[in-house]
Amino acid sequence: MKKTLLFALCSLALALGASAQMPALERIEPMSWWVGMSNPNLQLIVHGNNIAGRNVVLNYPGVKLKAVHKVENSNYLFLDLQLFSSVVPGTFPIKFTKAGQKDLVYQYTLNKRDKSAGRIQGVTNKDLIYLIMPDRFSNGDESNDSFDNMREKGVHRDSMYSRHGGDIQGVMNHLDYLKALGVTAIWMTPEIENDEPHASYHGYAVTDYYKIDPRYGTNELYKKFVEKCHSMGLKVIKDLVHNHAGTEGYTILDMPMKSWVHQWPKYTKSNFRDAAVMDPHASPMDRKLMADGWFDHRMADMNQNNIYVQNYLTQNHIWWVEYAGIDGFRLDTYPYNDPAYMAKWAQDVKAEFPKLSIFGETLVWSAANQAFFTQGNTVNRGMDTHLPGVTDGVLKDAIYEAINGNDGWTDGVGRLYSVIAQDFLYQDATRNTIFMDNHDMSRLLSMVKEDFTKYKSAMAMLLTMRGVPQLYYGDEILMKNYSDPDGLVREDFAGGWKGDKENKFTADGRSKKENEAFNYVSKLAKYRKGTTALQTGKMMQFVPEKGIYVYFRYDAAKTVMIIFNSSDKDQSTTTDRYFERIGDAKKARNVITDEPVDLAQVNIPGKTALVLEILPGGTH
């Protein structure tokens, strides 16, 4: 189907209205809520065949029906409820009446909030995040691989764009593996329903905001997953997509109003130029294309200036936190969203869950561009985004330049030094999520041309640098490939499926080199987990000299020195220059080998990063 025709069909859905098969009362969302929320207001979206032709009756102590909104599409009503402080948990009927016809009744439940310890903990720079694409990690329940009533059927592991059958149970089956690696937080790409006809395994084309995709499991299983993670000392991050929705969702196929999504005369893509958002000289049309253009022909661009859209998205996200007790949100395609709404969204969510962590995806090209989206940068924006941190792609690129590039004033390690020096742009750069790769980009091992020494150096810097480190599934066992096409970096984790010839979840199933990589990452991750200096400690870096870059992480308990030799040749360096952090210490311990190191002169092999713990006897 041509893109323009598909876009026209999406727009036409509003005019056509419901099909004859739509129930008179198809659904109400949120389908339940909680008493004692910070915001006493709740807006219910009601969908059903000509539901606007009925009156609404609600009678429950402590609940007031403030308003009933009829919109362009008669298949919708929006109900404004106020929940007073006196309201108690319980179930009550919401009736939809019409003379001469049988009442339609929905039993609405207000639950008691779960205040159990260990829920909604927040993810901080004390954590190590592990990113998983659930469809590609492990198939723990073959009974949910395919459903006849869904648009994409079957499991086809030989196709990079088809469903492979991985699911939430598969992740749950391997939590011990993640604990052994040293992971403390799990981020899965979106688990909610993506009922699109093709290539929806990634999760970013949602068709039902309140439902875990059946091929991954159920809402109840997801809640159990979070509870199991918490019981094992693991946190959970949920991936959110504010910007767009799958075109097969009910609010897109049968839109409440034409302004539910951004409409164009014909299919119009975003220009993907984040600079247009911040450019004081920008063309208004360029800015509009960036924010309002569609991300893909199967991803309808949500109109976040629409108050009904705002309420729908915000309440859904609050619902998932309270329902499952998750610890943080990762916000997909952050720069493409309406900034005023996103700022309000962050405030509304944090008002309910003060400990919840939030970071936004900002795959941009400079530290200034990244910092523009973070909280506290109000001078040039005239507003505060209330976004604590971002995905630090600029630091990632700088680490690759340090490892692969040639030494220069602003090249090689000079680039990395300069990027870290720009941390003044952020209110707090330690809230940024730092990473070497993810599901949208070439894997670490391929980016360093499968050079194992460079691989280890990148991992050393990732796990000792400021910020919240994030690994991508399989990097620890040397999974590789480039992102063109992107399916190549989304291969299955060997051993996650019955009948796999190899099982990389076990040491016996890994090669000698894969075990060396796993053990290297695990040792550093566990050392970081027990070393506050690498979590919340301060950082001091020194101007690179002769291709050698040195930085320290330190606090009252420990001082850790990281030395990276960007040259291909082995080098040695005296440490007199670093007296501000070393003091009169004479010895250090190599964190990986546990061997003693004489600080008078340190030998560093080419392209190697050493992680040294300064032994007592100096300034810390």
Task: Tell me which residues are annotated as active site.
Answer: 332, 361
Any idea which residue has 């550093």 for tokens? 524
Buried b (16+ CB within 10 A) or exposed e, 600-616: eebebeebbbbbbbbbe
Q: 589: part of which helix (H) or strand (E)?
A: strand 587-590
Q: Is 272 exposed, middle or buried (0-12, 13-18, 19+ CB in 10 A)?
A: middle
- The DSSP secondary-structure symbol of 113 reads P
CA distance 64 to 181: 51
Instruction: Please give, one letter per residue, the 3-state secondary structure of 399-431.
Output: HHHHHHCCCCCCCCHHHHHHHHHHHHHCCCHHH
CA dihedral (204, 209, 214, 220) in degrees, to 10, reads: 130
221 φ/ψ angles, rounded to the nearest 5 degrees: -65, -40
397 φ/ψ angles, rounded to the nearest 5 degrees: -60, -35
Using an 8 Å Cβ cutoff, are 128 and 531 in contact?
no
Give the HSE-up count for residue 554: Cα atoms under 13 Å, Cβ half-sphere. Answer: 21
Using an 8 Å Cβ cutoff, are 306 and 327 in contact?
no
**Peptide bond preceding 30 in cis form (omega within 30 of 0):** yes
How many C-beta atoms lie closer than 10 Å to residue 357's C-beta?
A: 25
Question: C-alpha angle 246/248/253, rounded to 5°?
Answer: 115
DSSP E strand stretches across 196-327: 208-212, 235-240, 244-246, 299-301
Any idea which residue has 């101007």 for tokens? 543
Any idea which residue has 């003044």 for tokens? 424
CA distance 602 to 572: 5
Helices vs strands, H then E, count in the chain: 17, 28
How many C-beta atoms lie closer than 10 Å to residue 343's C-beta?
A: 18
CA distance 365 to 369: 7
Q: 310: part of which helix (H) or strand (E)?
A: helix 307-324
**Taking each helix axis from N to C terminus, what angle separates 413-421 and 393-404, rounded to the nearest 10 degrees?**
150
CA distance 550 to 480: 29
CA distance 567 to 461: 16
